[in-house]
Structure 1
Amino acid sequence: MVTFDQFLSIGLALPRATERLTWETTVTLRVGEKIFAMGTPGSGEVTVKASKADQAELLAAEPEVYSSAPYVGRHGWVLVKLAGADPEELRDLLADAWRSVAPKKLVREYEASGPTPETL
């Protein structure tokens, strides 16, 4: 199980990731103006940017945890039920989402630094 605060900690640990309240209740995680994840505290769910291939794989492997996100699912975004999420899998999913929106130079620097996963 992952809490919303843990989700935020994982996402905000990525380089230049910031948090912004959007649509009055939704916390978005961004690099610059590009959103890579979002959620509403207390909802028990978050939405994470993914490729369509990764989305299909996650939905097939764990349909009780992952589903196609409302509105943006057709673009690959995944709705994650935090109560069933594996912390390491969520960490990897957030890192991939971050990579998809971060500047290429920043991604290269991050990968060259050999980041080690934090423990939850």
Structure 2
Amino acid sequence: MSCNSRKIEYLRQRIPSFECVPGCHDCCGPVTTSSEEMSRLPVKSDAEHEAALAELNCVHLGPNGCQVYDERPLICRLFGTTPRLPCPNGRRPEEMIELRIEQQIHHLIATTRQVLV
């Protein structure tokens, strides 16, 4: 396991979770993620990527929501857990993410090669 993979796993465990509005995908759009996180996701064709991008959706968004929810990237996990990325429906965890952890996530994102999901 690479150093970044260990960091990702550490950070994932520290992001609080909460229940989204059933059927909502307001936070789901094209995002970038690290190569390590991308390697956990199913490979999609260029046509699938282009179709999703044309709709400003994530390529892993299906009719019932996120198809890779358990492996979704850090940036997706942050939505709704910090005032800087609020849930458009006002949902949130009981306790928001610690600022220190959020900063570590943003630092990892800024210092790793990012690719479009």
| TM-score, length-scaled by structure 1 | 0.31
Query: TM-score normalised to the size of structure 2?
Result: 0.31
Greater RCO (Cα-Cα under 8 Å, separation 6 or more): 2
